[in-house]
Amino acid sequence: MLYFEAVLRDTLSVQLQQPLAPPHEISAASKSPAEISFFPQEARILLVANSAWNLWNFRRSLFQQLQILGCRVITAAPADDFSAHLSHFIALRHLSRKSLSPLSNLRTLGELIRVLRSQKPGLAVFYTIKPNIFGAWAARLSGVPSVAVIEGLGYTARAHPLLRRMIFRLYRSALSHSRKVIFLNHDDQAEFLYHRMVTPGKTLVIKGVGVDTEYFKPGIFPAGANVGDTFLFIGRLLHDKGIREFVRAASLIKQVYPAARFQILGGLDEDNPASIAAGELSAWLDEAVVEYLGQTDDVRPYIAAADAVVLPSYREGMPRVLLEGMAMGKPVITTDSVGCRDTVDEGENGFIIPSENSEALRQALLRFLQLNPEDRAEMGRKSREKALREFSNEAVLRQYIRVFWECGRF
């Protein structure tokens, strides 16, 4: 890694002599992001993430809105089953989520430079750790203005201190070349500022990536005929999503409420060091404590059939699954951890518990089970109201569009 940093330092010191052209100068009288003809004709924006799945599932409403506003949206990521859904998609061959090889990372940097120089976007927007770091360098070397979106620290938050320090150093170097750094919560913003990974004037908090409250709304699917109260966990099966705490709490609850159902919707993530093993999932199923629903492209029928959505995660940027559950009028149970706590007004639309604590989760589940139907319905209504007020596309996407317009060169 020292070799890798030395190569980058030498490269950047030679090629970063000329400043980028300034971003748009706009006044208070500038057009609102709600105006359809906001971007000039043939404006081009490049969105880069570590998977096509990530772009399709979390950025779809954003790039659809950008297209409505006249932008040509180019997407780039390693190819997967969702690549075909994306407009103007470019497959990245060298971007690997798990590789620490200096040679592999230099290839990623080179590949991103080639994409930027060939596509010539007016702005590049980077998501997830490696695109944020290597993308910012590549954009600077290509003369393209860029924005970084930090959606949590991922496995970095629990990595070995030496690895954390190395990643922080890389972030500090890379983000110095970004025109704006967007965070999804104030805790992550504070941590980056504390470690001096970014200067305060570049940072901005936007609460989430937006949720389509017309697509996710109550009543579009029948509630179902579940026998027993149903708690739904949605997410990748990672230990830091709190999946083990969910299963332990389920085992304890079923001793008292044997009819209660605990469902898991999501897949294993073998490329992630936090992923549970397939054998562990099989053991849970053999014990008949939880039901495994597999993976799906549409979570709405499962949310509709549940009584509450549960995510006992250790840390998030802004948990999309909870926002979708809230938009569909479901109470939520989550942890007092970064990102998660922002979704719940304690006792109003759900419950907040300490993270990494299956006993606290058990108690919260019991509290919910003891609520009468009217109180549960009121919690669901307050979830929907909070989603509309704070996390809807209408509340969130205009903020991203304003940043892109200010930072881009169109």
The terminus-to-terminus CA distance of the chain in angstroms comes to 37
Q: What is the pLDDT of residue 55?
A: 95
Measured distance CA(162)–CA(148) in Å, rounded: 24
Q: What is the pLDDT of residue 233?
A: 98
Q: What is the pLDDT of residue 267?
A: 92
Best CATH choice for the domain 230-391 from the list 3.30.300.90, 3.40.50.1970, 3.40.1260.10, 3.40.50.2000 = 3.40.50.2000
SS3 335: strand
* Other Cβ atoms closer than 10 A to 112: 28
Q: 203-249: per-residue pLDDT in tens?
A: 999 999 999 999 999 988 876 555 679 999 999 999 999 999 999 99
Q: What is the pLDDT of residue 226?
A: 57
Q: What is the pLDDT of residue 269?
A: 87
Burial of residue 270 (CB within 10 Å: 0-12, 13-18, 19+) is: exposed
**With contact defined as beta carbons under 8 Å apart, do 179 and 164 qualify?**
no
Q: What is the pLDDT of residue 221?
A: 81
Q: What is the pLDDT of residue 259?
A: 94
Residue 240: name the closest of 149, 302, 313, 316 by CA: 313
3-state secondary structure 252-317: HHHHHCCCCEEEEECCCCCCCCCECCHHHHHHHHHCCCCEECCCCCCCHHHHHHCCEEEECCCCCC
Q: What is the pLDDT of residue 156?
A: 63
Q: 241-283: per-residue pLDDT in tens?
A: 999 999 999 999 999 999 999 999 999 988 788 899 999 999 9
State how beta strands 72-77 and 44-48 pair: parallel
Q: What is the pLDDT along the chain (410 residues), one digit of tens a residue?
A: 444 444 444 444 434 434 444 444 333 334 444 444 578 888 999 999 999 999 999 999 999 999 999 999 999 999 999 999 998 999 999 998 777 788 889 999 999 999 999 999 999 999 999 999 999 999 999 999 999 999 877 666 666 788 888 889 999 999 999 999 999 999 999 999 999 999 999 999 999 999 999 999 998 887 655 567 999 999 999 999 999 999 999 999 999 999 999 999 999 988 788 899 999 999 999 999 999 999 998 999 999 999 999 999 999 999 999 999 999 999 999 999 999 999 999 999 999 999 999 999 999 999 999 999 999 999 999 999 999 999 999 999 999 999 999 999 98
Q: Where in the chain is the domain with CATH 3.40.50.2000?
A: 38-210+393-407, 230-391
Measured distance CA(156)–CA(279) in Å, rounded: 25
Superfamily of domain 38-210+393-407: Glycogen Phosphorylase B; (3.40.50.2000)
Question: Cα dihedral sign for 300, 401, 54, 272?
Answer: negative
Measured distance CA(144)–CA(153) in Å, rounded: 25
